[in-house]
Amino acid sequence: MNTQTIKTFFETLNKDTTLLAFAKIYARDVYFKDPFNQTHGVPAVYEIFQEMYAKLDTPRFEILECISEGKVCYVKWRFIFCFKGKSEEQGFEGVSRLTIDAEDKIVSHIDYWDAAEQVYEKIPLIGSILRFLKRKIAKR
């Protein structure tokens, strides 16, 4: 699988992307992990993305870098979205490590991003506690 295929898939993902489209790029028993989910199988990965479209307005990925060596690909991305009913865009960056199998499909997809900073800190009470802890721990 080449980096352009990966870039195109993620940048064109939308609520109408089908399970069949996921099955073309992901191996049948793909392993997927992010800060909130850990699952196996194309249908389970598809459901994670469908839930994202149900809970957020206009979510999309912008691929910033895509580097591949052998059967491993690292994708740096920016996730852009609006919370339901809000017009202000939010966004954060992360990295995905994709492992490609012999059939040229993604067999492992692990996302790395800071859930505390990107999500939890935006929740009023939890956010203030996390920001306080960061200030206490940070080198002055």
CATH number for the domain that contains residue 7? 3.10.450.50
Q: What is the pLDDT of residue 120?
A: 45
Nearest CA-CA partner of 63 in 106, 8, 115, 24 = 8
pLDDT per residue as tens digits for the range 84-113: 888 889 889 999 999 999 999 999 999 998
Whether 46 is in a domain gets the answer yes
CA-CA distances (angstroms) from residue 125 to 50, 92, 128, 132? 28, 21, 5, 11
Is position 49 within any domain?
Answer: yes
Is the pLDDT confidence value at 117 over 70?
no
Is 119 within the bounds of a domain?
Answer: no
User: 128 lies in a domain?
Assistant: no
| 12-53 per-position pLDDT tens digit | 999 999 999 999 999 999 999 998 899 999 999 999 999 999
Domain total in the chain? 1
Q: Tell me whether residue 136 is in a domain.
A: no
What average pLDDT score do residues 70-80 get? Answer: 96
Specify the DSSP element, H or E, that contains 63. Answer: strand 56-69
Q: Residue 120: inside a domain, yes or no?
A: no
Q: Which domain holds residue 42?
A: 3-114
Please tell me the pTM assigned to this model. 0.82
